[in-house]
Amino acid sequence: MAGTAGPNSGVGVNDGDGDGIEEGVGVEEGVGATALMVAAARAIETYRHDALARDVYAEHFVRAARVSADWPVRPGEVPGGEADPLWGRLGRYFGLRTRVLDDFLLDRVRAGTRQVVLLGAGLDTRAYRLDWPADLVVFEIDQEEVLAFKRRVLDGLGAVPTARRITIAADLRFDWAGKLAAAGFDPTAPTAWLAEGLLLYLPHAAERALITTVDTLSAAGSALAYEVKLGTESAAVRDSPVYTAARHRIGVDLLALFDAEPRPDSAAALTTHGWSTTSHTPFHFTHHHGRGPYPDSPDALAANRWIFATNPTA
């Protein structure tokens, strides 16, 4: 849920001197809250003794926003530890997802890709924390309020990106390809596209348009990773501790934020256009890495799929 492409993506921030500054719509009211939730999970993961991914910037985003200033950012601050449904189970999910998608991008770069596009970048700091080659460019697309908050926090830390980083203010529900081209994107070069925690929130038509745009802009050798949720969840799953804990304890109603329309089969659409796609449950990677969430009942994570697609021909 790194993406913040929904209409309510602003963040209410604390600028460090005690005065709250409201950027657009309050974070409590929109998808921006999920970006902070993921940042808190990444912060906690960073300080686990068996961390799968480390993001030293994540805790600073959490502390800079009023709504999340008192959320845990260390394992020892989590009530119930690993058994906690929110910061234990769901937090482990985000830590695992971060690692898997880090590996996806780094594998593409090792194969020769030199441009990365983060769709709905949210509070993603991969441009800062991963070891990139000097000639790589990372494009981050999200709404202006989110990018401004992120810029203020990272600039305050004196953070320096490890790749050439270009931010693009755009709403991914609408036309964004022109802004990407104007920022220097090269459609003739292979691209690694990432939509982490984004498509869950987009309307049906917006997801189809985004996938079509990615296909149109992708040269041979491009790849895309994204997350989807299959089918309609049962009443028991909708009442699972993961969802209820997020709603009651931090005010993030994930079920209300997920778009209710039937989801398009984007993997099938890509296959029709010559892409090769694979789909995995999160538990596949839990077993691979030896840590992360395991199946539960009722399970809010069981319907999640991580899709990996490559475009061998243009």
Tell me which of 4 and 241 has the higher pLDDT. Answer: 241
Supply the range of the domain harboring residue 50: 11-311
* Whole-angstrom distance, CA of residue 172 vs CA of residue 4: 9
**pLDDT per residue as tens digits for the range 137-146:** 999 999 999 9
Whether residue 203 is predicted with pLDDT greater than 60 in this model: the reply is yes
Which residue in the block uniquely carries the two structure tokens 């993506």? Answer: 9
**pLDDT per residue as tens digits for the range 145-199:** 999 999 999 999 999 999 999 999 999 989 899 999 999 999 999 999 999 999 9
3-state secondary structure 230-267: CCCCCHHHHCCHHHHHHHHHHCCCHHHHCCCCCCCCHH
Number of domains, the chain: 1
Average pLDDT on 236-265 reads: 92
DSSP secondary structure string for all residues of 151-165: HHHHHHTT---SSEE
Query: Does 4 fall in a domain?
Result: no
Grade residue 313 by pLDDT with cuts at 50, 70 and 90: low
Query: Does 36 fall in a domain?
Result: yes
Asked whether the beta carbons of 197 and 4 are under 8 A apart, the reply is: no
Query: Does 145 fall in a domain?
Result: yes
Residue 312 CB-half CA count within 13 A: 6
Residue 16 is predicted with a pLDDT of: 38
Residue 30 is predicted with a pLDDT of: 38
Query: Does 231 fall in a domain?
Result: yes
Query: Does 130 fall in a domain?
Result: yes
Instruction: Report the SS3 class of residue 186.
Output: coil
Helix axes 241-250, 32-46, angle to 10 degrees: 110
Whether residue 29 is predicted with pLDDT greater than 80 in this model: the reply is no
Residue 81 is predicted with a pLDDT of: 92
Query: Does 6 fall in a domain?
Result: no
Residues contacting residue 262 through CB under 8 Å, at least 6 positions apart: 204
Which residue in the block uniquely carries the two structure tokens 């390809």? Answer: 177
* Whole-angstrom distance, CA of residue 6 vs CA of residue 80: 32
Residue 232 is predicted with a pLDDT of: 83
Query: Does 1 fall in a domain?
Result: no
Residues contacting residue 69 through CB under 8 Å, at least 6 positions apart: 14, 62, 63
Q: Using alpha carbons only, what angle is made at residue 122 by residues 290 and 284, rounded to the nearest 5 degrees?
A: 20
Best mean pLDDT range from 2-11, 19-28, 225-234, 267-276: 267-276
Tell me which of 5 and 262 has the higher pLDDT. Answer: 262
Instruction: Report the SS3 class of residue 53.
Output: coil
Asked whether the beta carbons of 256 and 56 are under 8 A apart, the reply is: no
Query: What is the Cα Rg of the chain in Å?
Result: 18
Query: Does 222 fall in a domain?
Result: yes
**pLDDT per residue as tens digits for the range 88-122:** 999 999 999 999 999 999 999 999 999 999 999 99
Domain CATH code at residue 143: 3.40.50.150
* Total-model pTM: 0.91
